[in-house]
Each structure stands twice: as structure tokens, then as C-alpha cells.
Amino acid sequence: MTRWTLTLQPHPFQRIDASTLRRSWLADKTQAQIEKSTLVADGMPVPFGDLFRILVNESETDEIIIEGDAERCDGLGALHDRGVFRVLGHVGDYAGASLRGGTLLIGGSAGHFVGAPLASRKSGMSRATIEITGDAGDYVGHRMRRGTIVIAGSAGTHLASSMVAGTIAVGSDIGHQPCIGMRRGTVFLPGASTASLFDSKLTFSAPFDYDASFLSLYQSPMMRRVLHPLIDNVVKRIRADRSVGGQGEILTISQQS
């Protein structure tokens, strides 16, 4: 097994497409080959070694570690398949896009389209886990098929739009129009105002009391922290989106309005 530590170097670029940076891409290359490979930055091919300093070590598990401010790097963790992909700060858009396995850990905030489809693909993440210690932007979990996304902070608009299945938990507030076109799956919103769920949501059910005793079964420390307010309060359940079958569920706290 291998650990790749990639330290982002100072650069003048506005956006870097890092969607090709994944375990399977790194595993079949030597360090010299990685450094000579290219990423696209502001529409131009740039040598990988000009953007990242690379350190390769043996490890008990496959792990990719990104050090430095990666807020302008899009697609980090896209199509990741196994092991841990760890970012020690902020990331750009499309983090964990079309994720297939393993765990993506983001030690800061993320941009838009977390776990959404990558490029022309029709499906978002299909399994695995994404944990974000900060906030996330719009369209988190768009077209998500399976897996788990946990956000300790807030999320933007159109959370879980066209979600097919899976689990999303958001610790703080969310933007407008969540769960539009949600077919199945579960969205935990212990910190969100229920008002944000009902701006013209005629296709959502009315909230009803729900026994959520199963919440204590979650083992992830971050998930347990995010869900803690639900465990200590009366939980309301909302079914959505009835325009596409209404098999999804939203769990929130009854006291909020």
C-alpha cells in the first residue's frame, strides 16, 4: 500500500482541474512520471510537478493527502475508489464527484456540487463516505445514488436535488429548494429551519412525529456529533419528493420553525 502526500505550491492560476488526481491514476506511475504528467489549469496543460510537491511512502492502507490551500482545485476525490483521500483544508467545486469507494475527508469547506456527477456522467457518487468539517456550497448530493455525506457546517441551495438514494447529514442551516426531485434516501437536518423546506413545496408531505431511536447506531464520530440534536429532541419526518414517488425522507427537529 502507498501514501502519496501532495503539497500544493504557490501558483498564479484561478482554477485547477484536479479530477484526474486519484489513487488509480497515481498507482501505476513512478514519482518521476507523476511529476511529468499534466493537469489543466486555466485551460492550459501544466506539469504536475509545478503545482504539487510529491512525497511517496509505504503505508498500511492506500492514502492520498493534499496539503495547502486547495480552494481553487476542482474535482478533488472525483472517481476515488478505495482507501482514504484526505484534504487538510478547503477544496473547490465537484469534490468527490462520482465517488465510487473509500473515504473523502475534507478538513475545511467545499465548493459546489459535492458528490455530484463528474463531467457528462449521469450519476453522482455511488458509494463511500464524504466528511466535511466546514461548510459546503450548492447542489450537494445532486443525483447521488448511494453512500454518505456528512457536513458539520451549513450547505447551500438545492441540497440533495434529484437524489436517487443515500444519506446526507448537515449540521447547520441550508439554502433554499432542498430535496427537489428526491426519489429515495435520507437527509438529516438537525440545524436547519423547517421554513427553508417549505418555500413552495407542495410536493412534500406535512411534518409528522417520528421515532428516530436508530440514530444512536451510527458509529462515525462526526455523524454522531451532527445528529446529536436529533437524539435529544422530538424528531419530525417529511416525505419527499412526491412528484417523483415520495420515497425520500427528511428528518429535522420539531421545535424549529
Q: Domain segments of the chain: what residues?
A: 2-253
Q: What is the pLDDT of residue 70?
A: 97
Q: What is the pLDDT of residue 256?
A: 46
Mean pLDDT of 117-136: 96
Please determine, looking at this structure, whether the domain spanning 2-253 carries the CATH number 2.160.20: yes
Higher-scoring residue by pLDDT: 193, 224? 224
pLDDT, tens digit, for every residue of 134-160? Answer: 999 999 999 999 999 999 999 999 999
Q: What percent of the chain clears pLDDT 90, i.e. is strictly above it?
A: 86
Residue 31 identity: Q
pLDDT, tens digit, for every residue of 198-233? Answer: 655 678 888 899 998 899 899 999 999 999 999 888
Residue 123 near residue 145 (C-beta atoms within 8 A): yes
Mean pLDDT of 184-193: 92
**CB within 8 A of 80, min separation 6: which ones?**
22, 23, 64, 96, 99, 100, 101, 102, 104, 128
- How high is the mean pLDDT of the chain? 94
Q: Which of the four pLDDT bands, split at 50, 70 and 90, describes residue 255?
A: low
Q: Is the pTM for the entire model greater than 0.85? A: yes
Residue 178 near residue 159 (C-beta atoms within 8 A): yes
In the predicted structure, residue 8 carries a pLDDT above the cut 90: yes
pLDDT, tens digit, for every residue of 27-81? Answer: 999 999 999 999 999 999 999 999 999 999 999 999 999 999 999 999 999 999 9
CA distance 63 to 47: 22
